[in-house]
């Protein structure tokens, strides 16, 4: 059976060129980058090159790029590190209701340690309101953390405007750009972003390695304590092969961003338009325009997203409902509830996140299969039967 992978927001396949670049650091160049001998120096050169590549791709300076073990660690470090470093200035943090749990659960942790957190609501498209952001800023606000693009519904926030507000009020601005980097052009020198989390495994790089951009003038407390790695800011022997892979993956993604975006947007829009047109009682989640190029998120009324996923998987289509981190849970997604959906509707969500290797024939097969599967599940659904006034085909 032809398998079609539509879960690129969860993770992506390693790019062949990335693997080739990593391979020497998994074999002959296995040294510890802190060692003074030639094995160590080779590893250090690989890490330095990756740092330069990431800085170039993002319009930052190499000294502003730090490596961590994942998006979760980068977000934890950004929030806890800023909270600790600026706690004498204030104890108020602003975020949004639809952040990834890596941010939301870190905020909950900080609340238990005496910080105040404002969770900005979002509108039905998933965007924060800039006036509400301005009004939420107090004298003791030290940090605004708003994600660049949402991992479930794909909505892209007005990052430039948020950054301008933060800068005007002298508040540090962190953005979780794990889903945006490689999909949306980002040039940090011209931005008001002070910290930015980016991930490699969402852009055909390896898992377990991430970069946190920290603007030069920003103070941050270390999160991992130990050796003097990463200029005394993040202790632990570097994952050399992973870092090399992340650098290469971002270089490839940045070079091909225009072509990738154009191709994904075309397929995304065909999926959205056709699925909405051909399947009644379906709702598009997220903003139609300010949206990640590869994101489709639709709720189908009267059915369970989980049943839809299993049925699609049996037909070779790998998709997701909600985010990968929460899809094992029976609770509806906090993002879908925050945009105003009721529990029943939120349970019927399907996220398709496209990648570069999907053909137009694949898209046609996906449309046909979703249509047939939704129809079949609705025929079995007591909720749908009640709505139609009788049970059918059971
Ligand atoms: N932030 C966002 C927006 C994400 O989508 C993810 C993962 O999907 C993370 C943070 C956490 O990244 P990781 O699972 O690599 O630690």
Could you report the per-residue pLDDT of 191-215, keeping only the tens digit for each? Answer: 999 999 999 999 999 999 999 999 9
Q: What atom of ligand 1 comes closest to residue 72's alpha carbon?
A: 16
Residue in this structure with the two tokens 């290469």, named with its chain if needed: 248
pLDDT grade, residue 394 (50/70/90)? Answer: very low
The alpha carbon of 10 and the centre of ligand 1 are apart by a number of angstroms equal to 8
- From residue 130, give the alpha-carbon distance in Å to each of 116, 158, 159: 20, 9, 10
Q: Is 18 in the pocket of ligand 1 (CB under 6 A)?
A: no
Look at residue 331 in the predicted model and tell me its pLDDT: 78
* Angle ∠(147,150,155) on CA atoms, nearest 5: 105
Q: What atom of ligand 1 comes closest to residue 323's alpha carbon?
A: 8
Q: Is 293 in the pocket of ligand 1 (CB under 6 A)?
A: no
The first and second tokens of residue 146, run together, are: 């708003």
Average pLDDT, the chain: 94
Look at residue 324 in the predicted model and tell me its pLDDT: 47
Average pLDDT over residues 93-98: 98
Find residue 291's DSSP bridge partners: 155
Q: Is 199 in the pocket of ligand 1 (CB under 6 A)?
A: yes
The alpha carbon of 206 and the centre of ligand 1 are apart by a number of angstroms equal to 13
Q: What percent of the chain clears pLDDT 90, i.e. is strictly above it?
A: 91
Q: Is a pLDDT exceeding 80 seen at residue 145?
A: yes
- From residue 269, give the alpha-carbon distance in Å to each of 12, 148, 356, 363: 21, 21, 15, 11
Look at residue 330 in the predicted model and tell me its pLDDT: 66
The phi, psi pair for 59, rounded to 5°, reads 70, 45
User: Under a CB-based contact definition with an 8 Å cutoff, are residues 172 and 195 in contact?
Assistant: yes
pLDDT grade, residue 385 (50/70/90)? Answer: confident
The first and second tokens of residue 305, run together, are: 């997203």
Look at residue 163 in the predicted model and tell me its pLDDT: 98
**Residue to probe by mutation, ligand 1, list 68, 174, 199, 327, most atoms within 8 Å of CB:** 199
355-389 burial, b at 16+ Cβ within 10 Å, e below that, comes to: bbebeeebbebbbebbeebbeebbeebeebbeeee
Question: Which range, of 56-60, 259-263, 319-323, 342-346, averages the lowest pLDDT?
Answer: 319-323
- 241 Cβ contact partners less than 8 Å away, ≥ 6 residues apart: 22, 23, 25, 26, 206
Could you report the per-residue pLDDT of 235-287, keeping only the tens digit for each? Answer: 999 999 999 999 999 999 999 999 999 999 999 999 999 999 999 999 999 99
Nearest CA to ligand 1 atom 5: 151
pLDDT grade, residue 388 (50/70/90)? Answer: confident
The kind and range of the H/E element at 353 are strand 349-353
The alpha carbon of 196 and the centre of ligand 1 are apart by a number of angstroms equal to 13
Pairwise CA distance, residues 273 & 147, whole Å: 27
The first and second tokens of residue 152, run together, are: 């479930």
Q: Is a pLDDT exceeding 70 seen at residue 327?
A: no
Q: Is a pLDDT exceeding 50 seen at residue 391?
A: no
The alpha carbon of 100 and the centre of ligand 1 are apart by a number of angstroms equal to 7
Is 325 annotated as catalytic? Answer: yes
The angle that helices 240-255 and 38-58 make with each other, rounded to 10 degrees, is 30
Q: Is a pLDDT exceeding 70 seen at residue 328?
A: no
pTM, two decimal places: 0.95
């Amino acid at each position: 059976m032809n398998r079609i992978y539509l879960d690129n927001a969860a993770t992506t396949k390693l790019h062949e060129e990335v693997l080739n670049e990593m391979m020497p650091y998994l074999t002959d160049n296995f040294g510890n980058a802190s060692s003074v001998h030639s094995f160590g120096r080779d590893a250090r050169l690989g890490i330095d090159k990756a740092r330069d590549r990431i800085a170039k791709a993002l319009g930052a300076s190499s000294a502003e790029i730090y490596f961590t073990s994942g998006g979760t660690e980068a977000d934890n470090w950004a929030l806890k590190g800023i909270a600790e470093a600026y706690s004498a200035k204030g104890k108020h943090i602003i975020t949004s209701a639809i952040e990834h749990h890596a941010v939301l659960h870190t905020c909950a942790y900080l609340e238990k340690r005496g910080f105040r957190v404002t969770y900005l609501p979002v509108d039905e498209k998933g965007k924060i309101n800039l006036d509400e952001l301005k009004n939420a800023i107090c004298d003791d606000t030290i940090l605004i953390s708003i994600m660049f693009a949402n991992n479930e519904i794909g909505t892209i926030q007005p990052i430039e405007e948020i950054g301008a507000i933060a800068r005007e009020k002298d508040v540090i601005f962190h953005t979780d750009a794990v889903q945006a980097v490689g999909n949306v052009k980002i040039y940090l020198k011209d931005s008001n972003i002070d910290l930015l989390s980016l991930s490699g495994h969402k852009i055909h790089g390896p898992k377990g390695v991430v970069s946190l951009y920290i603007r030069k003038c920003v103070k941050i407390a270390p999160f991992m304590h130990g050796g003097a790695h990463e200029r005394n800011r993040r202790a632990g022997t570097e994952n050399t092969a992973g870092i090399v892979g992340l650098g290469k993956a971002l270089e490839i993604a940045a070079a091909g961003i225009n072509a990738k975006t154009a191709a994904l947007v075309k397929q995304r829009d065909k999926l959205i338009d056709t699925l909405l047109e051909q399947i009644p009682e379906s709702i598009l989640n997220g903003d139609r325009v300010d949206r990640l190029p590869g994101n489709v998120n639709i709720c189908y009324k009267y059915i369970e997203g989980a049943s839809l996923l299993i049925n699609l998987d049996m037909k070779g289509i790998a998709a997701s409902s909600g985010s990968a981190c929460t899809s094992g849970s029976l609770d509806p997604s906090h993002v879908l509830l925050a945009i105003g959906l009721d529990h029943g509707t939120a349970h019927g969500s399907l996220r398709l996140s496209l990648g570069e290797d999907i053909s137009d024939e694949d898209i046609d097969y996906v449309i046909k299969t979703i249509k047939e599967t939704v129809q079949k599940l609705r025929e079995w659904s007591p909720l749908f039967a009640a709505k139609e006034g009788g049970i059918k085909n059971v």
